[in-house]
C-alpha cells in the first residue's frame, strides 16, 4: 500500500509516517516511480505506535517496544520493561508539571503583589517593567 492508503487506514498523517520511517520504526520499499510501498503489516505497527504515543510515551520510548510493535499491544498484558518505561515517563511528566506549577505560582505571586500598586512605577522586587 502507498503512504496515503496507510495514512487513511491508521489515522496517521503522511508526515508522521515519514517521520516514523526516518527514526526506524517502520520501513518501506520503493516503487519504480519512487513512491513508498508498505506491506499490510505496517498498519498494525503504526496503530501500535499511535497507541503508545496516545498513552503519553515519546518516540524514543516507543523505540524500546520495537520487538512487539507487530502484535496486539492493546489487549496484550504489559511487560515488566513496558511498565518500567511508562513509570519513567510518568516521573518525567510529573517533574515537568511540578516545575510549571512552581513557575505559575511565582508569576501569580508577583502579579498579586503588583495588584495593589496604582503608581505603575515598576520599582521593587516584584517589578514587571517592560521597556518599549
State the DSSP string of 9-58.
HH---HHHHHHHHHTTSS--EE-TTS-EE--THHHHHHHHHHHHHHTT--
Averaged pLDDT for residues 6-29: 97
Q: 72 and 82: one domain?
A: no
Residue pointed to by grid coordinates 489515522: 11
Q: 7 and 20: one domain?
A: yes
Domain that holds residue 100: 77-111
Q: 8 and 65: one domain?
A: yes
Strands 29-30 and 36-37: antiparallel
For residue 127, name the pLDDT band (cuts at 50, 70, 90): low
Q: Is residue 90 part of a domain?
A: yes
Report whether pLDDT(92) > 90: yes
d(CA 15, CA 84): 30
pLDDT of residue 125: 55
Model confidence over 42-61: pLDDT tens digits?
999 999 999 999 999 999 99
pLDDT of residue 76: 87
**Domain count of the chain?**
2
Q: Is residue 61 part of a domain?
A: yes
Q: 37 and 92: one domain?
A: no
Q: 59 and 11: one domain?
A: yes
Q: Is residue 127 part of a domain?
A: no
Angle (nearest 5°) at CA 105 between 104 and 106: 90
Whole-structure pTM value: 0.77
Residue 124: DSSP 8-state: S
Last residue of a domain, one of 27, 59, 76: 76
pLDDT of residue 56: 94
Q: 88 and 71: one domain?
A: no
- Which CATH number does the domain housing residue 57 bear? 1.10.1660.10
For residue 116, name the pLDDT band (cuts at 50, 70, 90): low
Amino acid at each position: 500500500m502507498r503512504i496515503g492508503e496507510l495514512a487513511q487506514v491508521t489515522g496517521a498523517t503522511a508526515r508522521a509516517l515519514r517521520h516514523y520511517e526516518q527514526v526506524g520504526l517502520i520501513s518501506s520499499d520503493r516503487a519504480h516511480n519512487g513512491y513508498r510501498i508498505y506491506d499490510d503489516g505496517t498498519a498494525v505497527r503504526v496503530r501500535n505506535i499511535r497507541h503508545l504515543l496516545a498513552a503519553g510515551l515519546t518516540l524514543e520510548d516507543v523505540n524500546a517496544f520495537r520487538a512487539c510493535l507487530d502484535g496486539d499491544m492493546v489487549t496484550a498484558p504489559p511487560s515488566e520493561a513496558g511498565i518500567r518505561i511508562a513509570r519513567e515517563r510518568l516521573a518525567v511528566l510529573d517533574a515537568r508539571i511540578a516545575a510549571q506549577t512552581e513557575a505559575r505560582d511565582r508569576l501569580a505571586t508577583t502579579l498579586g503583589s503588583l495588584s495593589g500598586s496604582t503608581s505603575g512605577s515598576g520599582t521593587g522586587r516584584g517589578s514587571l517593567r517592560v521597556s518599549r
